[in-house]
Chains A and B, each alone.
Chain A
Amino acid sequence: DVVMTQTPVSLSVSLGGQVSISCRSSQSLVHNNGNTYLSWYLQKPGQSPQLLIYKVSNRFSGISDRFSGSGSGTDFTLKISRVEPDDLGVYYCGQGTQYPYTFGAGTKLELK
């Protein structure tokens, strides 16, 4: 199985600040079709996960441009700028390139 390693485990940020979350995969996430199926999700307290970014850098419908994804191969990053209170929660990266689909352990974003 592809292991997804997220760092850091937790982050403290001031409102209006910027943070980056790293996600590394144990194998390349480039699919045979040339696409890279790496997504980012946010799970707010008491809620289901919600899709933020898919295929590395594509923002899902309605997602603010304060969220940006980048990376390639095995190394990926989610950046959040001008952090707002509604951004707090646990962020997960996930891969859909190889079965079984797998997720990182999560990064908890908290207020400083």
Chain B
Amino acid sequence: QVQLKESGPGLVQPSQTLSLTCTVSGFSLTSYSVHWVRQHSGKSLEWMGRMWSDGDTSYNSAFTSRLSISRDTSKSQVFLKMNSLQTEDTGTYYCARNGVFDYWGQGVMVTVSS
């Protein structure tokens, strides 16, 4: 069955870089896009960017200058890297499949704090 699972550090220091991995199973990254969505505690959802099935990427301009999404199709993994983290970047980060977000990972909670 389709599964997505996020992994990464739970705590990141301010000004440092966040690196997250989304490992997928049950589908191919060359057939479906994978998105990253962020949720501040108790708040709504914020779309960050996507990795297209052809390897291209699209980003929310709110993050463009510090966000990078890449992938390793051999490992069925999509990566998020975001630099210059601030306390406002604290939240839960999800990866989700395709443009309607039909499947979501369980999320990884990230706290930005010294």
Contact = CB atoms under 8 A, between A and B. Distances in A.
A88 interface: no
Interface residues of A, number: 21
Interface residues of B, number: 19
B96 to A, nearest CB: 8
Given A48-B105, A104-B44, A99 B60 contact: yes
Interface string A80-112: 000000000000101010011111111000000
B44 A49 contact: no
A39 B101 contact: yes
B94 interface: yes
B44 A50 contact: no
Nearest to B35: A101
Contacts, number: 47
Given A48-B94, A50-B104, A99-B58, A37 B99 contact: yes
Contacts of B106: 48
Contacts of B47: 100-103
B100 A92 contact: no
Contacts of A60: 102
Given A48-B107, A99-B60, A106 B44 contact: yes
B100 A49 contact: no
A50 to B, nearest CB: 7
Interface of A: 37, 39, 41, 48-51, 54-55, 60, 92, 94, 96, 99-106
Interface of B: 35, 44-47, 58, 60-62, 94, 99-107
